């Protein structure tokens, strides 16, 4: 379990006192110290929505102990090094991360379907200045902590949990002048009791588009 030192007080990540300690550290602009190594590693506190969260400093993930929740492989090994600082810009003062995307967030007109070539796509590759659609998904997946597994998660990684953590990961992210959460669509977990109402909405929406001469595709 990850623990943090606030001046002379050490508080574990599951300690009920952590929320108050983070709020106080945020107000006083203090940096909690992750004690996963003997020397300790400085973190910072971000205010996301109505809660405070502790985050690792940029480019410090590889300094944490491999068993620490804040650990990440060196950027040059994970591929993050190609986009960090350009496509992904993190402001530790505000806690806001700005993502530059190489795809449009608005609906475009109909386009011809690409011709299948049989070659494997390289949609994760970029010139480092922007994130592709797949690259953005991989980044959010990692930020949500879904790229690692712990025994405590056995049998608990339902779509409800995955969706919850993805939306939380998007809380302090922005792109193209908007909060990422406002343009990110993560489908809810399927529920039979909502299926009929959803189908009714889809039919009425399609009928409306046809009546106004617009396309829903």
pLDDT tens per residue, range 39-69:
999 999 988 778 898 998 988 888 999 989 8
Q: Quick check: 45 and 22 in contact, CB under 8 A?
A: yes
Q: What is the mean pLDDT of residues 162-166?
A: 89
Give me 125's structure tokens: 């590759």
- pLDDT of residue 210 exceeding 60, the answer is no
Residue 41 burial by Cβ neighbours in a 10 Å radius (0-12, 13-18, 19+)? buried
State whether the Cα torsion 148-134-98-85 is positive or negative.
Answer: positive
Q: Inform me whether the pLDDT recorded for 131 exceeds 60.
A: yes
CB atoms within 10 A of CB 131: 24
pLDDT (tens digit per residue) in 177-205: 888 988 888 888 776 666 666 666 666 66
CA-based nearest residue to 133, from 185, 70, 76: 185
Q: pLDDT per residue over 110-130, tens digit each?
A: 655 556 666 555 544 555 688
Residue 142 has pLDDT above 70, yes or no: yes
What percent of the chain has pLDDT above 70? Answer: 75
What's the rounded Cα separation, in Å, for the pair 158 and 88?
A: 28
């Amino acid at each position: 379990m990850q623990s943090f030192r606030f001046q002379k007080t050490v508080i574990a990540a599951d300690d009920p006192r952590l929320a108050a300690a983070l709020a106080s550290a945020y107000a006083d602009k203090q940096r909690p110290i992750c004690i996963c190594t003997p020397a300790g590693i400085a973190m910072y506190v971000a205010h996301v929505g109505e809660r405070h969260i502790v985050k690792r400093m940029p480019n410090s993930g590889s300094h944490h102990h491999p068993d620490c929740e804040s650990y990440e492989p060196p950027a040059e090994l994970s591929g993050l090094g190609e986009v960090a600082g350009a496509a992904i810009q993190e402001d530790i003062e505000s806690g806001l991360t700005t993502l530059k995307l190489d795809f449009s967030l608005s609906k475009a007109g109909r386009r011809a379907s690409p011709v299948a070539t049989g070659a494997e796509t390289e949609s994760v590759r970029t010139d480092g200045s922007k994130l592709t659609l797949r690259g953005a998904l991989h980044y959010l997946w990692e930020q949500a902590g879904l790229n690692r597994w712990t025994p405590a998660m056995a049998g608990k990684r339902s779509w409800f949990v995955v969706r919850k953590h993805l939306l939380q990961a998007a809380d302090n992210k922005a792109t193209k002048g908007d909060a990422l959460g406002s343009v990110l669509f993560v489908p809810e977990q399927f529920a039979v009791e909502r299926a009929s109402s959803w189908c009714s909405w889809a039919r009425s929406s399609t009928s409306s588009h046809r009546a106004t001469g617009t396309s829903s595709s």
